[in-house]
């Protein structure tokens, strides 16, 4: 996920289900919701989104209306497992590198190491 994005700029989102061995879990066909905290006027998908074969990509999925610190959370509707990423919305030039994290699937209650993590929120 990008460490920073530009205000009022459409941002793509890509989410992948990742197994413990860091490969994509192509059997993961579940619904997640995307939540945004810190910008009450942000636009983002308001309905559940379904990963197909372990992946989900949505062009222009996010647009932030307020500069500052924002938290984007992805939550698995079935398990309730969630993961968040803090990003900075700026009103100037985006700086810094893009880092990648992943939506990790939960195989069982005992597999505590598995978490949901977002992948690749990147400015167009």
Count of Cβ atoms closer than 10 Å to residue 52 Cβ? 10
Question: Could you report the per-residue pLDDT of 79-112, keeping only the tens digit for each?
Answer: 998 878 899 999 875 444 433 333 333 322 222 2
Cα(86)–Cα(15) distance, integer angstroms: 16
115 is written with which tokens? Answer: 């978490």
Question: Could you report the per-residue pLDDT of 1-17, keeping only the tens digit for each?
Answer: 577 889 999 988 888 88
* Domain boundaries, position 33: 4-123
Q: How many domains does the chain have?
A: 1
Phi-psi region at 41: left, alpha or beta (left = phi > 0; alpha = psi -120 to 50): alpha
71 pLDDT higher than 90: yes
In CATH, what number is assigned to the domain containing residue 82?
Answer: 2.60.40.10
Q: Is the pTM of this model over 0.75?
A: no
Question: Could you report the per-residue pLDDT of 26-52, keeping only the tens digit for each?
Answer: 999 999 999 999 999 999 999 999 999
Q: CA distances (Å), 100 to each of 2, 20, 42, 79, in order?
A: 8, 16, 22, 23
> First CA to last CA across the chain, in angstroms?
13
């Amino acid at each position: 996920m990008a460490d920073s994005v530009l205000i009022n700029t459409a941002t793509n989102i890509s989410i992948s289900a990742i197994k413990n061995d860091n490969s994509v879990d192509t059997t993961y066909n579940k619904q997640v919701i995307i939540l945004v905290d810190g910008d009450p006027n942000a636009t983002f998908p308001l309905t559940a989104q379904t990963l197909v074969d372990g992946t989900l990509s949505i062009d222009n999925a996010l647009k932030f209306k307020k500069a500052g610190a924002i938290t984007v959370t992805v939550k698995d509707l079935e398990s309730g497992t969630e993961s968040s990423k803090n990003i900075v919305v700026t009103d100037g030039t985006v700086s810094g590198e893009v880092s990648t994290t992943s939506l990790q699937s939960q195989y069982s209650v005992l597999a505590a190491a598995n978490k949901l993590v977002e992948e690749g929120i990147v400015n167009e």
